[in-house]
Amino acid sequence: MQIIETVAGVKEQVAAWKAAGLTIGLVPTMGALHEGHESLMEAARAACDKVVVSVFVNPLQFGPDEDYDAYPRDIARDGAVCAAHGVDAVFHPTPEEMYGPAFNTYVVMEALTDALCGASRPGHFRGVCTVVTKLFNIVQPDFAFFGQKDAQQLAIIKRMVADLNMNLKVVGCPIVREEDGLAKSSRNAYLSPDERQAALVLSRAVRAGEAAVRAGERDAAAVKRQMSAIIEADPLARIDYVEVVDGATMQPVNTLGRSVLAALAVYIGSTRLIDNFIYEEGE
Would you please indicate which residues are annotated as catalytic (active-site) residues? 37
Say how many CA atoms lie within 13 Å of 169 toward its Cβ: 10
Classify residue 270 as exposed, middle or buried by CB count within 10 Å of its CB (0-12, 13-18, 19+): exposed
Q: Which residues are registered as beta bridge partners of 26?
A: 52, 144
Q: How many residues does the chain have?
A: 283
Phi/psi of residue 158, nearest 5 degrees: -60, -40
60: helix, coil or strand?
helix
Q: Are 221 and 274 in contact (CB under 8 A)?
A: no
Number of helices (H), then strands (E), in the chain? 10, 9
